Chain A
């Protein structure tokens, strides 16, 4: 099977988030970047597992500038066969999805994987957009994935439980925790990654319809009010009378 995995570069999960003084831009100084965990741990690893079992290829695709190359190479070290970077500085999900769809439309991919959302902009939009551009079915938030004779059985997270569904290739799926287990690339993988095909293509023109224009951090808590551990009646009173939440 021919598989495509969409990967994004995001700040590390422990990164302290800050913005320029006027609040117009993310302050990247001192921030370590990683591959978006949902893309790496679940989407990419599941795709690599399917290839190891049934053959085929796994292509990773990213829309970004050359500073993303290290992240993309990690995808190759984990086991992808080749990589594509669309050379752009994306500002909106629709722009990113358009670039991925442009690459995928003539690629005859059986399955396009992405993470359930990126941990920076948390939109959960790109997978659905790619699916719509290509007129393909889309299963979101998959946490279990099996495939036999081109028909996949996928468990997807829904509020308060899960739904098991079936869909035939080609389709797009977004991946949540449970679909696979994180893999740490080994030395052999890292060495091999250097020799794998990695192409950079220029983007197609597309407008940005929706972009962030300013950022702000949440108001700091004014300080914790400590309650005597032996007086839980007082805590209940505060939650009722002061905080008005029970």
Chain B
């Protein structure tokens, strides 16, 4: 049996949770048994996860789940996995999932793969799973040989698929410790765009912008596409843009469907964080910029001319 922890934010399931359920369903088809989903705390309409392949949804009610404490959450998921005799536990490779995966590996005496990109294949008692390594510069196939396996699924790898119908939600009771971490404040950037690790469309700009006051054209392009904005490291380091926008090896690693690199030369550390994007468009006035070698589409031209033209073209396309 495969147990999936479906992560919710303010009671709502995120896309990454639907991806995890779809992944759990596909994994259950490979390893045998059902795909069972666990939700924690107050969530809206957990039964809908049946549509993505959950044969059963369990919920553990506890006021403590309103704030994230990895010890509390790992105890809940780990104890549920033991109670339900799960063979594989699936999480999302999100900030929450990353804090939980290692804890669950210890709790369940399990081998783990963090940030899986593929549905496992079975080789006897061993599961084979692929993940990105060397900050996106390569992939590795892992063999997990323990009796119980824990896997976190990288975002934007397995699209959610509707395969079933809503199911009933059952309550589950497990032993839980008292939380020790107190959340004082949650600050989320306003706006409707997806956070960078989950974004499907990303518009990123670098030193070629010449200064923070010129970012309006980048924001306009991003707004026309419904894309999330990002930047290169030098731009974040000089304070032109906030640190959370920094993509690259030491920033956020992303793999959107479409990545625009505008006025970014394409240093190896930057490429490492973005080269798993499905399609890369590079706009740079220097035809020798290394980024063109990693691009699918390129525009050699002055970004201050090209970007507004592109925004107009996108608006025209959207209106058509």
Interface hits, B98-148 → A, CB 8 Å: 98-103, 105-107, 109-115, 128, 131-135, 137-146
A119 to B268, CA, bound (A): 13
The yes or no answer to A43 lying at the interface (CB within 8 A) is no
Given known contacts A123-B114, A161-B186, A210-B112, A245 and B278 CB-to-CB distance under 8 angstroms = yes
Q: Are B135 and A210 in contact (CB under 8 A)?
A: no
A138 to B96, CA, bound (A): 11
Q: Are B138 and A215 in contact (CB under 8 A)?
A: yes
Number of A residues, CB within 8 Å of B: 83
Interface of B is mostly: mixed
Q: Are A163 and B187 in contact (CB under 8 A)?
A: yes
The yes or no answer to B198 lying at the interface (CB within 8 A) is yes
The yes or no answer to B310 lying at the interface (CB within 8 A) is yes
- B34-42, B44-52, B82-90, B291-299: which lies at the interface: B291-299
The yes or no answer to B21 lying at the interface (CB within 8 A) is no
The yes or no answer to B209 lying at the interface (CB within 8 A) is no
The yes or no answer to B185 lying at the interface (CB within 8 A) is yes
Closest to B14 in A: A159
Q: Are A224 and B198 in contact (CB under 8 A)?
A: no
Contact with B along A103-135 (1 / 0, CB 8 A): 000000000000001011111111111011101
Interface hits, A159-174 → B, CB 8 Å: 159-168, 171
Interface of A is mostly: mixed
List chain B residues, Cβ under 8 A from A125.
98, 101-102, 105, 112, 114
A162 to B295, CA, bound (A): 32
Given known contacts A138-B70, A160-B195, A243 and B296 CB-to-CB distance under 8 angstroms = yes
Closest to B104 in A: A132
A159 to B228, CA, bound (A): 12
Q: Are B98 and A140 in contact (CB under 8 A)?
A: yes
A15 to chain B, nearest CB (A): 8
List chain A residues, Cβ under 8 A from B310.
232, 235-236
The yes or no answer to A17 lying at the interface (CB within 8 A) is yes
Q: Chain B residues in contact with chain A, CB under 8 A?
A: 14, 67-71, 74, 94-96, 98-103, 105-107, 109-115, 128, 131-135, 137-146, 149, 180-189, 194-198, 201, 225, 243-244, 246, 249-251, 253, 257-258, 268-269, 272, 275-276, 278-282, 292-302, 305-306, 309-310, 312-314, 316-317
Q: Chain A residues in contact with chain B, CB under 8 A?
A: 11, 13-14, 16-17, 19, 37-38, 92-94, 97, 117, 119-129, 131-133, 135-141, 143, 153, 156-168, 171, 177-178, 207-218, 221, 224-230, 232-233, 235-240, 243, 245-246
Closest 5 CB pairs of A and B: A229-B301, A209-B111, A128-B102, A160-B195, A210-B111
Q: A122-B132, A245-B257 are in contact. List 17 more A-B contacts (CB 8 A).
A: A13-B249, A13-B272, A94-B105, A120-B133, A122-B114, A123-B112, A128-B99, A128-B100, A131-B70, A138-B70, A161-B188, A162-B244, A166-B181, A210-B143, A217-B138, A229-B301, A246-B314
